[in-house]
Structure 1
Amino acid sequence: MADEVSDAGTVRADAWIWSVRLTKTRSQAASACRAGHVRVNGERVKPAHAVKAGDEIRVFHAGRERVVVVSKIVRKRVGPPVAATCFVDNTPPPPPREFVAPVAVRDRGTGRPTKRDRREMERLQGLGGDGPTAR
C-alpha cells in the first residue's frame, strides 16, 4: 500500500477520480473528462491530464457536482476508508427537499388527461392556466 498512496508525484485525472471512488469505473471517469464534466483548477481537462496534490477537482457525475481538493496521490483503486483520506471534500450540501418543484405524476394506464387534469398539472408547474378560457 505504500506505493499506492503518496504525497508527491502526479497521476492521470481519470485514474485518480476512479481510484478515490468518485466514479464507479475508470471508463466513466474518462467519459466525464471527454464530455467536459471534469475541471482541474477551473479548466476542463482531458483524461490524461496530470493531477498533483493541492489541485481542486470539480466532477459533475450522476446529476451532482463534487468539489474536492487532492491531498494524496493514488495510483490504484483503494478502499473507502483510505480513499476518504486522499481528498478534502468541499462539495456544497444538496438543496433542501422543500425547494424542489413538485412534479405532476399520473398513474400508469389512466389514459389521456382531461382538460381539468391538464389545468391542474399546469397550475402545479406554474405555467399559468388563468387565461380567458380558464374556469
Structure 2
Amino acid sequence: MPPPIRAPLLALRADKWLWAARFFKTRSLAAEAIRAGHVKLNGNAIKVAREVRAGNQLEIMAGDVWWTVDVLGLNDQRRPASEAQQLYEETSESRTRREARKDASRLAPVPGSDLRGRPTKKARRQIHRFNEGH
C-alpha cells in the first residue's frame, strides 16, 4: 500500500517552522526565542502559535547572530540541512551584516574565547591569587 499523499501546507506554526528550518535545535528553544522577542514576522513581534506562510519575512536572533530571511516553503518535519536551507532565502543585507560581524569578531575576538575546558592547576592558582588580592 503506498503512503498517503499529503496536501501541501499553506501555513505552519512559527516555532515549528524555525525548528524545521534548523535555526533552533528544538521547538522549545524556538518557542523560548519567540517569547523573548527574538523573532519578528514582517517587522512585528509574534506569539509562538502565529502562522508562518510562504512569502513572509522573518527576523531571527539565534545566539548572537541576526538573520533576516524570506520564507520560501513550509515543512512540518525536520529534514537534513541541505533541504532545510531550501525553506528560506537570506536577504543580501542580512548576509553582509553577518559577514561583517564575523570579520570583526575574527579581528578582535572576545577575551577568553580561546579558553577551553577547566582551568589548569597553574591557572587556578593565578585566579585564586588575583581574587585574594582584591
One fold, TM greater than 0.5?
yes
Asked if 1:103 corresponds to 2:124, the answer is: no
Distance change (3 Å), C-alpha of 1:22 and 1:101: closer
Does the residue aligned with 1:68 lie in a helix, a strand or coil? strand
Asked if 1:25 corresponds to 2:26, the answer is: yes
Q: Which residue of 2 aligns with 1:121?
A: none
Between the aligned partners of 2:79 and 2:16, the Cα distance in structure 1 is 11
Give the CA deviation at 1:102: 6.0
Per the normalisation by structure 2, the TM-score is 0.70
Give the CA deviation at 1:62: 1.6
Q: Which residue of 2 aligns with 1:118?
A: none
Give the CA deviation at 1:103: 3.1
Between the aligned partners of 1:109 and 1:68, the Cα distance in structure 2 is 48
Give the CA deviation at 1:66: 1.7
Between the aligned partners of 1:102 and 1:77, the Cα distance in structure 2 is 33
Residues 40-79 of structure 1: pairs in structure 2 closer than 5 A: 40-79=41-80
Q: Which structure 1 residue ranges, 5 or more long, are not aligned?
A: 116-135
Distance change (3 Å), C-alpha of 1:102 and 1:12: closer
Q: Which residue of 1 aligns with 2:119?
A: none
Larger radius of gyration: 1
Distance change (3 Å), C-alpha of 1:102 and 1:83: closer
Q: Which residue of 1 aligns with 2:118?
A: none
Between the aligned partners of 2:6 and 2:21, the Cα distance in structure 1 is 15
User: Residue type matched to 2:111 in 1?
Assistant: V
Query: Greater shift after overlay, 31-40 or 57-66?
Result: 57-66
Query: Greater shift after overlay, 50-59 or 74-83?
Result: 74-83
Distance change (3 Å), C-alpha of 1:109 and 1:28: same
Does the residue aligned with 2:125 lie in a helix, a strand or coil? coil
Q: CA RMSD in A?
A: 2.8
Does the residue aligned with 1:15 lie in a helix, a strand or coil? helix
Give the CA deviation at 1:17: 0.3
Kindly indicate which of the two structures has a greater share of residues assigned to helix. 2
Between the aligned partners of 1:9 and 1:79, the Cα distance in structure 2 is 21
User: Residue type matched to 1:35 in 2?
Assistant: A
Between the aligned partners of 1:102 and 1:19, the Cα distance in structure 2 is 31
Between the aligned partners of 1:55 and 1:71, the Cα distance in structure 2 is 8
Per the normalisation by structure 1, the TM-score is 0.70
